A and B are shown apart, each in its own frame.
Chain A
Amino acid sequence: MPARPTAAPRVGRRTAVLGLAAGVLLAGCDHGDDIGKPNATATTTADASADPSPSAREQTADERLVDEVVGGLDGAIAVLVAARRHRELRPVLTPLLKAHRQHVEALQGEATETPAATPASYEDVQHSERRLQAALVEAAGKAESGALAKLLASMSASVTQHLDALPKAA
């Protein structure tokens, strides 16, 4: 089993707001039923007086992983936003965009501002989503926390569903 984090509650570079990811990271190798209950876990695994600020210590491997995944999600969202400029694609792509915003919220605690996007085609979306799905699978395999692994695997399955539901050609 992966090692259980023993340090104080840690907040990733991007996780200034304690969101679900913090609960995940605090949950160690437990399977994730405690996602979304960071306070209960924190009292048993962390010293409340410890300085949790990012500058006080280095990121854990899982915090770096969350940052990488959120970066990938930001990129996928940017492609979707760009492709939605084609009015006819909006009904097809909106559910996927909503799902990705929920994914970012689950990892970061709040939705990021959508990055500026360059024009994108339907094929760009398909390519971007396939790349994201593979990245999520890889990240789920690498996570030290079982709870984080479960969350990332679920996100990969979400992308699988959305990709399967997309029309083959727009």
Chain B
Amino acid sequence: MTTETESLQTTLAAEHAAVYVYGLLGSRTSQTAEAPLYLALRAAYEAHRERRDSLIGEIAALGATPEPAAPAYTPPAGLDSPDGRYAAALALEKGCAATYAALVGYTTGARRAEAIGFLNDAAARELSFRGTPEAFPGDAR
């Protein structure tokens, strides 16, 4: 059975990947010619970086060793076009939402409240990457 700490580690792994991919997407996006996408990517990058750092602290406080980032990540497809970058960012945020939804199920109290906040934030962020409202964000059914 998955423990709360294991679920936090899974979430941390997702944050490491998100920070990498958002950084990559941002580096391929023009700050002037694609300003809306650039700003959305930058906001996402900063939010996930902050969350990653917070999770590292939480996991360490539980007496566990926070999972390090992977040595390398496979870049998403479609980086060469704005449409491709929108799609990659949306897919990434949907993946994060699913991770947060799982974290909600494995946690209680303040940590669950935090996970619910993460999920709501990811759901809202999906819209900035051309996502559309769903009935069950983060919960494939």
Contact = CB atoms under 8 A, between A and B. Distances in A.
Q: Which of A95, A103, A154 has the most CB of B within 10 A?
A: A154
A150 B133 contact: no
Nearest to B132: A165
Given A32-B139, A150-B139, A161 B116 contact: no
A153 B135 contact: no
A31 B2 contact: yes
Contacts of B106: 1, 31, 146
Interface stretch (B19-27, B37-45, B74-82, B119-127): B119-127
Contact-size category for A: 20 to 34
Interface in B84-141: 97, 101-102, 104-109, 112-113, 115-116, 119-120, 122-124, 126-127, 131-139, 141
A35 B138 CA distance: 14
B67 interface: no
Given A31-B105, A106-B136, A153 B124 contact: no
Contact-size category for B: 20 to 34
B102 A31 contact: yes
A113 interface: no
Contacts, number: 106
A103 B104 CA distance: 18
Interface in B41-74: none
Interface in A23-52: 29-32, 35-36
B133 A158 contact: yes
Interface of B: 1-2, 4, 7, 97, 101-102, 104-109, 112-113, 115-116, 119-120, 122-124, 126-127, 131-139, 141
Interface of A: 1-2, 29-32, 35-36, 95-96, 98-99, 102-103, 106, 137, 140-141, 146-147, 149-151, 153-158, 160-162, 164-165
Given A30-B105, A140-B116, A164-B133, 4 more contacts: A31-B102, A99-B134, A140-B104, A153-B116
